[in-house]
Amino acid sequence: MSSTPPLSGPQLSDGTPPDPRARGPFAAIRRALPAGEVIRFLMVGVSNTIFSFLLYSACVIVYSHLFPHRGKPLIADIASITAKPICITVAFLCYKHFVFRTHGNYLKEWLRCFAVYGVSTPAELIILPIATSIFLHTAPLRTSAPFLAGIVNSVLIALYSYFAHKKFSFKR
């Protein structure tokens, strides 16, 4: 009767050892990131980004009709604030069950997830109106300004969120 020996040495969050053969300028990053987890994060990230952008866009459209006298930069911020709690909750569930595969700790991890995105909220409230204003000054992009600003914001937040979630929200 043979048993497999327990893994010794450093392990990544998904239980796999880091790739000791990783070489080159990005070797430290490749050794620290389990490929499967990163791929799952990118898959969930793309789907969450699409969901978040669609919900944000729907809010922009609704608020543009409800408050036509308000400026588009303000509407972009209000739409973001409205969509954010729903989007964070959907992202949390996907990250928890599909990416980081943690068990239990729902409230603690959910609150940490909100904290990660909460840190980025002030940046969003600056990025969205500035990017919207920039796009408003480009004639062909004027009608799409708040939507394009939402895309710029999504890309910047995605870069930040992987490491914040890995090291804080879903740390083991």
Would you call 64 exposed, middle or buried from its count of C-beta atoms within 10 A (0-12, 13-18, 19+)? middle
Of 20-24, 60-64, 84-88, 145-149, the least confident: 20-24
pTM over 0.75? The answer is no
What are the pLDDT digits (tens) for 60-93? 999 999 999 988 999 999 999 999 999 999 999 9
Helix, strand or coil, per DSSP, at residue 35? helix
Model confidence at 159, pLDDT cuts 50, 70, 90, reads confident
